[in-house]
Amino acid sequence: MSVSIELAPLDRAAMATVREHLDRLTKPPGSLGRLEALIVQLAGITGSNAPRVEQPAIAVFAADHGVTAQGVSAYPSAVTAQMVANFVAGGAAINVLARAAGAKLVVVDVGVVGPELAVSSRVRAGTRDMTVEPAMTRDEALRAIGIGRDVVGGLVADGCDAIALGEMGIGNTTAASALVALLTGRPPAEVTGRGTGLDDEAVRRKVVVIEAALRLHQPGRGDPLGTLAAVGGLEIAALVGAMLAGGESRIPIILDGFITGAAALVAVGIAPTLAPRLIASHRSAEPGHRVVLEQLGLEPLLDLDLRLGEGSGAALALPLLRAGTLLLAEMATFESAGVSGPPLEGG
Amino acid sequence: MSVSIELAPLDRAAMATVREHLDRLTKPPGSLGRLEALIVQLAGITGSNAPRVEQPAIAVFAADHGVTAQGVSAYPSAVTAQMVANFVAGGAAINVLARAAGAKLVVVDVGVVGPELAVSSRVRAGTRDMTVEPAMTRDEALRAIGIGRDVVGGLVADGCDAIALGEMGIGNTTAASALVALLTGRPPAEVTGRGTGLDDEAVRRKVVVIEAALRLHQPGRGDPLGTLAAVGGLEIAALVGAMLAGGESRIPIILDGFITGAAALVAVGIAPTLAPRLIASHRSAEPGHRVVLEQLGLEPLLDLDLRLGEGSGAALALPLLRAGTLLLAEMATFESAGVSGPPLEGG
């Protein structure tokens, strides 16, 4: 069984209208740099000449990974559940950043091991060890995708007009590196990094683990769902679903770092016209993230060497999106303000 | 007469305390990347273990430039006054961005030509043409510095805990390029750009104008005030004063782009220990800005190809500062949240 989704292309008319309006605002044409491209993209995504980011939400999906049995993380697997408890208590970085950005935060347990504390839609308690067997069945992956879809669908029904995505899952940089290696054909060593803080020797062991998993699983290059099931994670699958729902709802989808980027590669495999609806918030310190961004054709807004996950980079980028929409909505035009207009071409 | 100011060094004790606390927060050590360095810098600047950015202000200084007689700008000089009117009416980019950042905006006319519309502290109606005579007398430059100092002093007295700086002045990229060339010894062609939108031919003419001014004025390398008076601007002088006041008041000083950067070179010439109290908000599209940042030893937070001025980049960076202070203040520690701590070194 294969899944393929056709999304509407960006709204070229809205983009042209907004591009033209930007040049009437009281600033030298193009002087807001990449913020202008972002504003035009928001118009294309939403199909509106006046896109808004008034009710952003951050959805964080959490799950555990069987591959942690192979010693691929600096932290024990139990930290996933502990951090979910921290999210629920409001003490994690993403709680602070969501409050700072005025964004609603939803934490969804799609596969944590341990007590169920957050919004629970647990498909199973952690994936299987990808070095021994597929991490998920195709059905489990599809169920996790459905959960991500439902979460974002519900948020949109409540008025959410921009979705920022994050994750928590000890071991999930291993899953993401395996996914990126399979989906791009790059060698694991090139797309594997320190995760939460491995030293050089531990990174080499992590690469060996990923190589072992890749020898075991050889899904076709045209089978993103099979790849996801083989070496992905439940939270990564939920992220894929969240992106598909964001694409269908025509709201901007703000990626975080490496894990959400790996999920985006899967999502674009399923819905090839999704990519222009994605916004890369930041360039992560994980080396594989560069490969992901290149593959997706995305240029991140921030470059702050973040490597926390949780949606932290996406949350930090929200004020830039909001600022862009407000500039478009509230700035005076040369005409309305009585300011002498831009010079003639070449003047 | 020479001016030299000794500022307190950063508070090393506060920096050490905050650095240590950051490693106790529920995140892998260092995973907030450059945001962690920023938080530590804010502690050092303010001398507080809990630095706050609760009442940021944006001060925009406006003035005209006699050198516009040489045709160095894409816009007529009258646009300075028109844009000040736009600031007062609330329709410019910086008005929108100040509102978005929750920052107080103060617009100060230190030397605009035309009717006085903003807070007026006009030293004179525009500088003289630097290709004919010094742009300002030393006394005029000192008076403009005093105005910038008083503005920031007043804001701090009212509770301002972070100052973002901006400017408006048709012709002021010419003044800034001349200043940067004199203060760094770089050839004008290397530090001169398109400003508000010159084409290649017009940039070449702008370089010739700056070269003519530099042949006329040869202030000593150790005379930042003389350099400022010869080729600077009244708003640039006010920015210098604003930075000195921010340094003395121990609040973070957020630079905008190329013009505020040129002012910072002058300010650091006067107060050599000012540099670590400066925060570079963004890397401007103006080529001279790279030289300025290198000279100041600053790495900008944003890289969005902005070239608007007005303090727009500084305003866009404010949410990052605020997010940093909130993370420090509000995140749970590993101990308080019951999360298994960071791995042992090399683990």
Question: Do the chains contact at B75 and A337, CB–CB below 8 Å?
Answer: no
The ipTM (two decimal places) reads 0.96
pLDDT band at A2 (very low <50, low <70, confident <90, very high): low
Q: pLDDT (tens digit, 9 = 90+) per residue, B160-210?
A: 999 999 999 999 999 999 999 999 999 999 999 999 999 999 999 999 999
Strand order in the sheet with A162-168: A119-120, A104-111, A56-63, A162-168, A253-255, A278-280
**Closest C-alpha to B126, from B71, B173, B171:** B171
Question: Do the chains contact at B91 and A337, CB–CB below 8 Å?
Answer: yes
Measured on CA atoms in the order B306, B308, B309, B312, is the torsion positive or negative? negative
**Closest C-alpha to A162, from A274, A256, A315, A53:** A53
Question: Do the chains contact at A32 and B326, CB–CB below 8 Å?
Answer: no
Under 8 Å between Cβ of A262 and A290: no
B310 is a catalytic site residue:
yes
The pTM for the full model equals 0.97
- CA distance linking residue B101 with residue B98, whole number of Å: 5
Q: Which overall architecture, per CATH, does domain A56-320 show?
A: 3-Layer(aba) Sandwich (3.40)
Q: pLDDT (tens digit, 9 = 90+) per residue, B119-173?
A: 999 999 999 999 999 999 999 999 999 999 999 999 999 999 999 999 999 999 9
Q: pLDDT (tens digit, 9 = 90+) per residue, B32-71?
A: 999 999 999 999 999 999 999 999 999 999 999 999 999 9
What 8-state DSSP symbol labels residue B56?
A: E
Residue B9 distance to chain A (closest CA, Å)? 26
Which residues of A are less than 8 Å from B327 in CB distance?
93, 96-97
Angle at Cα A59 formed by Cα A56 and Cα A62, nearest 5°?
165
Minimum Cα–Cα distance from B26: chain A residue: A92
Q: What share of chain A is helix, strand, coil (3-state, %, to 5)?
A: 50, 10, 40
**Closest C-alpha to A251, from A328, A323, A331, A318:** A318
pLDDT at B219: 76
Q: What is the token pair recorded at B7?
A: 């500022």
Measured on CA atoms in the order B167, B170, B173, B174, is the torsion positive or negative? negative
pLDDT at A220: 73
Residue A315, pLDDT above cutoff 50: yes
pLDDT > 70: percent of chain B: 98
Under 8 Å between Cβ of A219 and A226: yes
Question: Do the chains contact at B92 and A26, CB–CB below 8 Å?
Answer: yes
Please provide the average confidence, as pLDDT, over all residues in chain B: 96
- CA distance linking residue A238 with residue A87, whole number of Å: 18
CA atoms within 13 A on the CB side of A286: 32
Angle between helices B258-270 and B287-296 (to 10 degrees): 30
**Closest C-alpha to B231, from B158, B294, B180, B298:** B180
Residue A87, pLDDT above cutoff 50: yes
Which residues of B are less than 8 Å from A308 in CB distance?
27-28, 31-32
Question: Do the chains contact at A93 and B340, CB–CB below 8 Å?
Answer: no
Q: Could you list the active site residues of A?
A: 310
The domain segmentation of chain B, as residue ranges, is: 56-320
Under 8 Å between Cβ of A109 and A63: yes
Minimum Cα–Cα distance from B340: chain A residue: A79
Nearest CB neighbour to B97, from listed A93, A97, A323: A323
pLDDT at A219: 76
Backbone phi and psi for residue A27, each to the nearest 5 degrees, phi listed first: -165, 150
pLDDT band at A344 (very low <50, low <70, confident <90, very high): low
What 8-state DSSP symbol labels residue B343?
A: P
pLDDT at B2: 58
